[in-house]
Structure 1
Amino acid sequence: MESMCSSAALKSEASDLEIGQPQGSVFLITAGGSILKLPIPSRSSKDPLNWSKWKRTLAFLAILVNSFVGLLVVQAPSVMVMSLAGEFGPDDTRPFSLSILFSAPTLFMGIAALLWIPLTLAWGRRPVYLLSIVLLFLSTLGAGLSTSFSQLLVSVCIQGLAEGINTSAALLMIIDLTFIHERPQYIGATWSIVGALTLASLAVVAQVPEITTTSWRPFYLIWSFPVAVSCLLTFFLYPETYFVRPAVAFEGRILVQSSEEQVKVYEDWENTPGGKGLPDVPTSRIQELKFWRSIRGGGWRAVRACYSQVFLCLVNPLMFWVALLEAVLFGSMLAIGETYSLVLMMEPYSMSPKSTPFVNLAGALGSFLAWPATAMFIPWISKRLTVRNNGVRNAEHYLPAFIMPVIFGALSIILYGITVERKLHHSLIFISYAFNSFSFAALATANILWITEAFPRWAAPGVVVVSGLSYAASFGISFAIMPWAKSQGYELMGIEIGVAILVIGCVGIPVAFWGKALRQYIHGRWTLNQEGALRPQ
């Protein structure tokens, strides 16, 4: 099938959308109650949904490993404060403070979304992903060889830029690998498992006195080897997943899957937009391992369209809402993460610097529990709502997924503030961090499901906005935490952040009632613009 559809065909497709199901709605469950595997896999060897379960699992494993090694190296300075402070004094860090090593990487993780996602539309997922891992390896090695604060700061900023692909473009790569009904489990596993492993590893690293109190360089030099292994795993296990599915023949009819993963039926090839598809050329294992492989769809036109759509997504209330919610919840995580160590070392707790990082184990448990919670609750509730809707799944069926993260997120920061201000038992600090980590992983899963299902044609710029805005906002929030706590106290700060989470989270209630109509209105004149879609056609 030709790569470009005629304008007449596009107009016909737009008319079909107007009179049929709106974007973000798919017929997913049959009258018998069975779940359809959508999108429908093609017969092409390049189609990731046509790969074996084992091959798809290995590709997903490569993404998990890379996400873990990257996130750990970005967060490592938080447990090496004493070692870093012993070498770099105020004169060495001017015009910054030592804390810039902890906050600057998050800013560059936000910037990364603006860089990596558009590039994957032009070059494909595989070359951009490999490029980011090589960048992570070089920056990690550079951090270990740094001889000045400025060199270390540049290295950790590049690490944040490289790791940012795992909080943005990698989520689209997981969507490439999965059917619609599988995405809650896979996306939930990514946020939960990676977060849990990272927090648990930070607690372990903090127990190595040579790194945390004497010299921080060995960590980066040693950790460059796992990063190199991750690079090799990605090279051998992750083929290109960017694939535009051609029309397929089924029982004498032609099925065309649009960019929003709806299926249209045509009686013959002549009526199919683009005409009859070309026969597939099998891809060998050697061809899959090429660093660069030509892809169909996208291109630099898609890059330009993606950047213009980012602005439209910023002013889209249904997307800005979730971006703002994630930013505020991220702020609550920073409020706990930046202060718990200081609080636990003061009276009445008087814990040693070596003991305070064990709070990360509580966070690891909370993050891990978010996986079964989301993997069980989201498919269950969305399936029930889909069955009641005659088998059609609307994007609004994912909105109940926001209930748990909003409640636990608000509860965590309020509990933390009250505990610190009133000097309650230290176990409540551990519990509050566990709740907060659970909330963040669950919310990140709900956000990605919502924006990619509600606006499938704007999936790429939508992820740019949600990931980029939340991480960039956290950079600014990090400078306000300590002055805020000193001026108002931990209790009032916790209550204010908790109330903000609840208020913003409650926006989901009217969205559940009027979101479908609002989505149709928003699409309006931009309904034909597909370049930033899940799979441009």
Structure 2
Amino acid sequence: MLSSLSHEYDASSLLPGSIFLITSDGRTLRLPIPSSSSNDPLNWTPWKRVCALVVLFFFTIIGLIQVQGLSLLLVALEDEFIPKETRPFQLNILLSSTSLFQGIGAFVWIPLSLAIGRRPVFLSCTAILMVATGWAGMSESFYQHLGARCLQGLAVGVCSSTVLLMIIDLTFTHQRPQAIASFWSICAALSNAILSIVPEIVTALGGWHAFYWVFVPFTMVAMLLGFVFCPETYFHRPAIAFDGHVLAQSGTEVVKVYEGWNEVPGGEPTPERPETPLEAVMKVFRVWGTGRKGGWAAMRACYPNILLCALNPMIFWVLLLNSLVLGGLISISTTYVDLLRSEPYYFPIRRIALIRISATAGALLAWPASGVITARIALRLTARNRGIRDVEHYLPSFILPILAGSASLVLYGLAGQHHWHWAWIFIAFGLNYFSFIALFTSNTLWAIEAFPRWAAAALTVVIGASNIASFGLSFGITPWIQAQGFAAPHCEIGALLFAVGCVAVPVAFWGKRWREYIHSRYGMNESGALRPRA
């Protein structure tokens, strides 16, 4: 193994975003290398890791139901809030505002997790969602409801930001495509399956307020489970002695081999004292992280890196992709209810809600497409590249979701414009959801792997800015449709998505050269890495 790590140091340490992953005898290295500490999430037992993941998935499902379910309540809310009460906004601001605050949440929660740890950020968001959901259930005026919805969006913003970092903390490098794909796919599939029965819940329990009250206990359960089963995942792996040498992992998770402790920056770490049984039990009740390093200085340093990533063309590209696919999804989500209620369909809201079953199918299909296939293609390309995995090996994963997303928007626009059979609208929605989940997986992988020194900052830009941009698009979709008709705006968004996706072609050919240039000029600062050493 040491010879393999030496090869890695020689071949990949000069260019973050490339890493020696497969040895000459075909073994896949388990990187990053776990430490000897019991606090290292890579040392957790399978049961402990599964429990933590189940809690993260559970909270995300509840959060997605809350922020997306309003599209099925707009009919009831139209009778509750007349246009005079919502001025200067339209009623659908209740749906799109959550996207804005999910984006703002990414800019808050990721940097904050670098300062205080993942666990306190996650637990804070479970508490915020519980309060916001109860507030929404009690709201009597439009602006009270809007305030609660914004607070819900802020809390759920942790799911696409810090929760993703927690999943990354819990997995080895070669497991990340599967882990991220399964997270997006399972959470989206189950949340949409539950959303398909929301009108039944509202009818049975006597009004739209019940939609929120039903889920308040679930938010309480999520907070309790998070407190018990989600320890701190944010961990700095100290240098370790191995076979007469010293192995150290940088903030980019690249291994460096030293001949002795005198060569290691900072010298030999203080050995960790074994935990007593009482300390192990009490650690469950500790809110603040145990593996933090960098503190508030790392949080402050993250924001300049966010700006740097926003100006980085290889990050800006996936930001545009994310914005367009999310904008397309929001456009469909805010129009499909009115479309299916009008001529020639005249569907009742209970039948309209069944469109969410197509979204469930699309989300489930995205798992093998963006997880299984992506992992296999990347490993095969890595093996052909002498065992060195370049981030460009993930580019094939963009092809299918870009084509599916463009096709779904064109199909939806034409079906709505020309009143095609309702099945085409259902198919377009499912296809669009497939694209949304698969592309989010690819964009997340690209953000954290292309520039590992700025992984946290890059993820903030890709997730946060795209949510904010899609919120802006939601304001323009109604006048856009009024000016050009139903088909043209959706076809144009689909064409833009395809055009921006075509940037993957030059990235495939010259991406490594661009990465090398960018890192040579700006790559020394590791404050935005997954585990910064600020």
| TM superposition score category, shorter chain reference | over 0.9
- CA distance, structure 1, for counterparts of residue 58 and residue 461 of structure 2: 25
Matched residue of 2:19: which SS? strand
- Identify unmatched segments of 5+ residues in structure 2: 1-8
2:412: which partner in 1?
A: 416
Q: Is the 8 A contact 1:83 1:211 kept in 2?
A: no
* SS of structure 2 residue aligned to 1:255: strand
Which of residues 192, 195, 217 is equivalent to 1:199? 192
Larger deviation: 19-28 or 68-77? 19-28
> 1:426 — aligned with what?
422
CA distance in 2, matches of 1:423, 1:106: 29
SS of the residue corresponding to residue 389 of structure 2 reads strand
- Cα distance change of structure 1 residues 92 and 500 upon mapping to structure 2, 3 Å threshold: same
Note if 1:479 corresponds to 2:475: yes
Cα shift at 1:293: 3.7
SS where residue 274 of structure 2 aligns? coil
Q: 5+ unaligned residues in a row in structure 1: which ranges? A: 1-15
Maintained 8 Å contact 2:447/2:455: yes
1:219-240 CA-to-partner distances (Å, cap 9, x unmatched) read 2122100000011111111000
Q: Is the 8 A contact 1:211 1:217 kept in 2?
A: no
Task: Report the equivalent of 2:4.
Answer: none
- Identity score, percent: 47
Deviation for aligned residue 1:286: 1.8
AA in 2 matched with 1:377:
I
**Conserved 8 A contact 1:411-1:498:** yes
In 2, the alpha carbon distance for the partners of 1:19 and 1:264 equals: 10
2:91 aligned to which of 89, 98, 108: 98
- In the alignment, what sits opposite 1:13? none
Aligned 1:102-501 pairs, distance under 5 A: 102-210=95-203, 215-283=207-275, 284-501=280-497
CA separation of 1:182/1:321 partners in 2, compared to 1, >3 Å: closer, same or farther?
Answer: same
How far did residue 282 of structure 1 move? 3.4
TM-score with structure 2 setting the length: 0.95
Show CA shifts across 1:378-402 (max 9, x none): 1111011101110010111111111
Q: Structure 2: how far apart are the matches of 1:210 and 1:253? A: 68
1:533 to 517, 529, 534: 529
Shift of 1:275: 0.9
Within 1, Cα distance between the matches of 2:510 and 2:16? Answer: 15
Which residue of structure 2 aligns with residue 74 of structure 1?
A: 67
Assess if the C-alpha contact under 8 Å between 2:398 and 2:439 holds in 1: yes
Deviation at 1:187, TM superposition (A): 0.5
Counterparts of 1:511 and 1:88, CA distance in 2: 49
SS at the partner of 1:264? strand
**Cα distance in 1 between the residues matched to 2:491 and 2:191:** 28
Gap change, CA 1:223 and 1:209, over 3 Å in 2: closer
Query: SS where residue 97 of structure 1 aligns?
Result: coil
1:100 aligned partner, one-letter code: I
Shift of 1:34: 1.5
Matches within 5 A, 1:485-524: 485-524=481-520
Tell me which residue corresponds to 2:3.
none
Cα root mean square deviation, aligned: 1.6
Name 2:22's counterpart in structure 1: 29
The 8 Å contact of residues 456 and 534 in structure 1, kept in 2 or not, is answered as yes
Question: Aligned letter for 1:80?
Answer: L
Using structure 1 for the length normalisation, give the TM-score: 0.94
The answer on whether the counterparts of 2:329 and 2:433 sit within 8 Å (CA) in structure 1 is yes
Structure 1 distance, partners of 2:281, 2:237, is: 20
CA contact (8 A) 1:17 1:23 kept: no
**Match of 1:215, SS?**
coil
The one-letter code matched in structure 1 to 2:492 is E
